């Protein structure tokens, strides 16, 4: 057994004797990632259970658990936490709700694109449009969100506010400073560009 392993084992055992609040306080002073690892060891099953209650997909839940604990490196430095377990429950719940909303927004956006492309297919009645429609149907939520991030800033912002945050044209206009005609134009052009990105890049992999 190496000295390195013995040192690590003693360090882990020492951390295990600390309360959650002591671990957090020490982390704020030292930025030692092993302290987050100890919290992960204590609460990974709790967070996984919370995620599974919302997302219902074991693989996605495993990814969500890692994302939540990775976010603690920054969050613990910004918040004063009295009861870590209760606070972590809220963090996990909010992460899951945001993930659900993001995926739902992606599905809504894909529904709009499919409807528009179906209209083009019926109107043009050609094989290329039919193939493009099939490509879009095979596109996943992650690919949609990645494609949205490739749009121009104003198109990206307006589309996310409309589909992810469910804001009206008026609300988008008020919060961005764009006129309502500009908002409509950014969204329309953004949807067209998004459709092209998905078809040209993701649909033809």
d(CA 94, CA 100): 10
pLDDT for the residue numbered 126: 57
**Residues 186 and 151 sit within 8 Å (Cβ to Cβ):** no
pLDDT for the residue numbered 185: 95
Q: Domain spans of the chain?
A: 3-82, 102-202
pLDDT for the residue numbered 149: 85
DSSP 159-178: HHHHHTS---HHHHHHHH--
**Residues 46 and 88 sit within 8 Å (Cβ to Cβ):** yes
pLDDT for the residue numbered 26: 94
Stretches where the chain sits below pLDDT 70 are 1-13, 117-133, 135, 137-142, 202-205
pLDDT for the residue numbered 3: 33
d(CA 101, CA 166): 10
Q: Rounded to two decimals, what is the model's pTM?
A: 0.56
pLDDT for the residue numbered 36: 92
| CATH number belonging to domain 102-202 | 1.20.140.160
pLDDT for the residue numbered 108: 79
């Amino acid at each position: 057994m190496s000295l390195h392993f013995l040192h690590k084992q003693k360090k882990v055992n020492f951390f295990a004797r600390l309360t959650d609040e002591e671990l957090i306080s020490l982390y704020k002073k030292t930025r030692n990632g092993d302290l987050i690892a100890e919290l992960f060891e204590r609460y990974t099953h709790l967070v996984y259970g919370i995620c599974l209650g919302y997302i219902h997909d074991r693989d996605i839940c495993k990814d969500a658990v890692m994302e939540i604990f990775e976010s603690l490196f920054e969050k613990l430095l910004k918040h004063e936490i009295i009861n870590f377990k209760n606070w972590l429950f809220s963090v996990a719940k909010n992460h899951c709700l945001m993930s659900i909303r993001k995926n739902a927004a992606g599905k809504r956006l894909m529904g709009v694109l499919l409807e528009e492309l179906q209209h083009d297919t019926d109107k043009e009645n050609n094989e290329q449009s039919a193939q493009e429609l099939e490509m879009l149907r095979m596109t996943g939520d992650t690919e949609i969100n990645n494609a949205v991030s490739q749009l121009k800033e104003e198109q990206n912002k307006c589309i996310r506010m409309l589909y992810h945050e469910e804001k009206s044209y008026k609300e988008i206009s008020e919060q961005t400073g764009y006129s309502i005609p500009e908002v409509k134009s950014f969204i329309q052009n953004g949807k067209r560009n998004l459709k092209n990105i998905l078809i040209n890049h993701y649909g033809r992999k």
